[in-house]
Structure 1
Amino acid sequence: MVSRRMIGTAAGFALAAAASAATTPAAAQAAGGESTFERIRRTKKLRTAAVAGAAPYYHKDLASGKWSGFYIDLVTALAEELEAELELSETTWGNAVLDLQSNKIDIFFGLNPTPKRALVIDFSVPCFSNAFSFIAKKGFEPKTWDELNKPEIRISTDVGSSQDQVATRLLPKAQISRFKSVDEATMAVQAGRVDAQCLVMMLALTAVKKNPNVGHVVVPQPVFATTSNAGFRREQDKTWRDFVNTWIEFNKGLGFVRSVILKNMELVGISESDFPPGITL
């Protein structure tokens, strides 16, 4: 079993190396201000955001206001590694990039590295892989992307998300309805206003497990997958990004990232056995 002491001790070497790197000329920002890494070390505060209704990534208890989810667990462990207080705000998948660009947050876990996003922010190494899938209404059984790419097919997505970009690019003939949130796009399927919702598989499995009446999960062929990464505000000094990359790779190697993902999947009733054949984390 991997202990937190083991994680903290070995990853501490990476922190020391990153702190040393922050003293190099590259740490000086073009505008003369301090880098993200320097600010976190000075203030002892790590700013991030979470998305409501996105279990097992993020989940907000409406009664207590407390957040949970595997990305909450990961960023909490990251803050502990930095000996920093975690400051958590709420956002949406579509607004997370804007929050990074405007320097409202220091990091956001759960972004797919699309080319459009890569124009304006930086990404970490992958935390895990995630296939694009659909929540299809009952009786609708598409097997391929071609079957979905027809003028009579109605698709819902949450605006600005990676699934919105994928549906726009791969299903140009379909009718695409864009909603503010994932939950609204899911409700459109349940209400019969659309035939299917484009959603990454982890979120699709969770939504169907929570409400089986909404439909069923379909992973059309060929399988198109993306990775789930952390995003950063683009800046000249890459110390912050490089440190997080080291932290992620180290904790993936020890199995900590995988254990956190599986634990939170189990909390929403999902196990690896629920994955379609040939699909893994």
Structure 2
Amino acid sequence: MISRRSFTAVLAGSAALAALPAMSQTASSLERIKSSGVLRIGAVADGAPYYQKSIADGSWRGFYIDICKKLADDLGVALEITETTWGNSVLGLQANKLDVFFGLNPTPERQKVIDFSGPCFKNAFSLVTDAEDNRQTWADFNDPDTRIAVDAGSSHDTAVSKHCPDAQVVRLKSQSDATASLQANRADTQCLVLILALTLVAKNPGIGKVVIPSPNDATTSNAGFRREDDTAWKDYVTAWIEEQRTNGFVRQAVIDNMALVGVTEDDFPEGFDI
């Protein structure tokens, strides 16, 4: 179990490494967090259910807020939240304005400039389809007569191209364009990651239902870090995340905060996992 004692032990090792002549004189993230007593994270104001900032009082909610609060509590430090955007979060890490940002997929381009934890949760590729559609596998949808809408060049596009090469892939400029195509009956189904698919159906109940086709395939949502020689901070958070996944905390945080977008636990389709 990752405790404050083990955190202190990791910090001691990090400090010893920092004393070596070959190491940079700049304090590592792990050292800075412990010495300052503050964990600095970024959050996206309109990023529900990941993040959400209250217009009324400026308070924050979201499953990554809950996760970061627990991380700070387990470290014995205060949590400092800086508003950012998905696009600017990487810049915030590189500029050492943030210690960690949760909610990034480790794309090849991002991996060139920042480091990543292991998966915080798996976001399964799903299909929003007609409520009467009984198909359950990718093979069922891999039909020349089936039109699958995706936002071109996205991970959704990649998943459909991989699993349904024989289907008609309707590639649109954006997710909203793909949804409009589905609503206008120019497509039979739309591919989205589970969080987005559940949110879409909650907002538009008449659009259909969510299916997680088997075999399950997913992208991941990870924590990002400033790249530095001392990997103790990244290693600590990676191990901490794995523990929270194993004990069910991450799964419950995701389910609880889906209420921010009108989704209940009963709305999760069969086969949901993190």
Where on the TM-score scale, by shorter chain, does this alignment land: which range? Answer: 0.7 to 0.9
**TM (normalized to structure 1)?**
0.73
Please name the residue that 2:11 is paired with. 19
Residues 105-148 of structure 1: CA deviation (Å, up to 9, x unaligned): 22111223344433332222333322112445899998638749
Report the counterpart of residue 126 of structure 1 in structure 2: 119
**Residues 46 and 233 of structure 1, relative CA distance in 2, 3 Å threshold:** same
Say if 1:76 and 1:86, in contact at 8 Å, map to a contact too.
no
TM-score, normalization by structure 2: 0.74
* 1:228 and 2:218 are equivalent in the alignment: no
Aligned CA distance change for structure 1 residues 102 and 200 (closer, same or farther; 3 Å): farther
Structure-2 separation of matches of 1:170 and 1:65: 39
Superposed CA offset, 1:66-88 (max 9, x none): 32111101112222333123222
Residue 245 (str. 1) matches residue 238 (str. 2): yes
Seen in structure 2, the aligned counterparts of structure 1 residues 221 and 246 have a Cα distance that, compared at 3 Å, is closer
- Contact kept in structure 2, 1:122 and 1:234, CA below 8 Å: yes
- Residue equivalent to 2:79: 85
Query: Among residues 85, 90, 95, which one is paired with 1:97 in the alignment?
Result: 90
Q: Which residue of 2 aligns with 1:167?
A: 157
Most deviating of 68-77 and 98-107: 98-107
Unaligned runs of 5+ in 1: 1-6
Q: Which residue of 2 aligns with 1:209?
A: 202
- Residue of structure 1 in register with 2:66 after alignment: 73
**Alpha carbons 2:212, 2:270 under 8 Å: kept:** no
CA contact (8 A) 1:137 1:189 kept: no
1:41 aligns with 2:39: no
The 8 Å contact of residues 27 and 239 in structure 1, kept in 2 or not, is answered as no
Which residue does the alignment assign to 1:58?
51
Count of residue correspondences: 263
Residue of structure 2 equivalent to 1:155? 150
| Cα offset, 1:21, TM superposition | 1.9
Q: Is the 8 A contact 2:212 2:271 kept in 1?
A: no
Q: Percent identity?
A: 42
Q: Is the CA contact (8 Å cut-off) linking 2:171 and 2:178 kept in structure 1? A: no
Q: How far is 1:229 from its partner?
A: 2.1
Equivalents in 1 of 2:250, 2:264: separation in Å? 17
Q: Is the 8 A contact 2:150 2:178 kept in 1?
A: no
Q: CA deviation at 1:209?
A: 1.5
Aligned to 1:270: 264
Alignment partners' CA distance in 2, 1:149 and 1:80: 53
Aligned to 1:4: none
Q: AA paired with 2:82?
A: L
In structure 2, the CA distance between the partners of 1:32 and 1:170, relative to structure 1 (3 Å rule), is farther
The letter of the residue matching 1:155 is: V
CA deviations 1:82-110 (Å, max 9, x no partner) are: 31232221212x44334333434221112
Write the distance in 1 (CA, Å) between the matches of 2:201 and 2:84: 24
Structure 2, unpaired ranges of 5+ = none
Matched AA of 1:46? L
Distance in 2 between residues matched to 1:42 and 1:279, nearest whole Å: 40
Residues of 2 paired with 1:193 and 1:178: CA distance? Answer: 17
Tell me which amino acid in the other structure corresponds to 1:21. G
CA distance in 1 between partners of 2:83 and 2:16 (Å):
32
